[in-house]
Copies of this chain bind each other. A is one copy, B any other.
Amino acid sequence: MALKLPFLQVDVFTNTPFKGNPVAVINCMNIDESLLSDKQLQAIANWTNLSETTFLFKPTTDGCDYKLRIFTPMCELPFAGHPTIGSCKAFLQFTGQKTAKSLKQECKSGIVNLTISSEGKISFKAPRADIEEIPQDVINEYRKILQIDCVAAPKLLDVGPIWVVYLTSDAESCYNANPDFAQMAIINNKYGHGGIILAGKKPGSSQDYEMRAFVPADGVQEDPVCGSGSIALIRYLQDLHNFTETTEVNITQGGRLTRQGEIFCQIKGNADGAFSYISGGNATIVIEGSINI
């Protein structure tokens, strides 16, 4: 059956078109989910060639605003950061909501809480952020292909995607790094690591970072602006610094790819002494129209 559905392509972590990370969002809220097979959703995401294409469906859980399904060109993901923010922006546009302050997104990894600031910034609370040690000999292998020293022990962060977080001496050394991507793909695959988050602190700042995200094993040398990577970084920083109070972390990313992404993060102390990891940013609608399926 031929379908014409509302389509938006949203630029995430920026207010300026073409400076962030794009996601294609298709509004399927007015059709039954069974009308589109998994194979069709995958074929569409393969064809758009974006890192992620998402589909908004009617929620199936009470209290949720929509159900989101997220596809890369190769597979479905349980959760992803920038597609969540871009899809929320699209949901607000599709439904004409102008005053929502919080939303609940249903997705394969569970329910994700979203907040919308009065200036329109969209933030999500990470559904998970687990941290693990990395053996020293593996760290040594990464040191060799990154060709840059780390200033604290790199760790493995499972935030949905699995990232190695590698902290350099400062923002400049992070920005200038020229890793060996072919070797990185081999090592990532060898240990089952998704990719590498490289980050360096901005001199004179309290907790502002330049960040880069490499996923050569997935065929993407460098991701322009990465939501799950920002969660991995702030969880790593909490492990490193043991902040006792709510801490803001501002991240810039994408400069080497002509982007200018800005990610606004928060390590938020809860009443029970645990911490929540929050990532957010602006988003702007670049392409608006419909898609013929």
Contact = CB atoms under 8 A, between A and B. Distances in A.
A7 B182 contact: no
Given A285-B292, A287-B289, A43 B18 contact: yes
A222 to B, nearest CB: 11
B292 A43 contact: no
Contacts of A293: 17-18
Interface string A248-272: 0000000001100000000000000
Contacts of A289: 7, 287-290
Interface string A169-204: 000000000000010000000000000000000000
Main SS of the interface on chain A? mixed
Contacts of A49: 22, 49-51
Nearest to A3: B17
A48 interface: yes
Contact of A291 (B182, B257, B286): B286
A287 B290 contact: yes
Contacts of A139: none
B258 A46 contact: yes
Contacts of A106: none
Nearest to A50: B49
A47 B11 contact: yes
A257 B219 CA distance: 15
A44 interface: yes
Contacts of A50: 49
Interface in A274-293: 284-293
17 contacts: A7-B289, A18-B40, A18-B43, A18-B44, A18-B46, A18-B47, A22-B48, A43-B258, A46-B257, A49-B49, A219-B221, A286-B292, A287-B291, A287-B292, A288-B290, A288-B292, A289-B290
Most B CB within 10 A of own CB, among A7, A17, A50, A293: A17
Contacts of A286: 47, 291-292
Most B CB within 10 A of own CB, among A7, A43, A286: A286
A122 to B, nearest CB: 18
Interface string A27-57: 0000000000000100110111111000000
A22 B40 CA distance: 16
Nearest to A43: B18
A17 B290 CA distance: 13
A287 B7 CA distance: 8
Interface in A230-246: none
A286 B4 CA distance: 9
Interface in A1-31: 7, 11, 17-18, 22
A292 B286 CA distance: 5
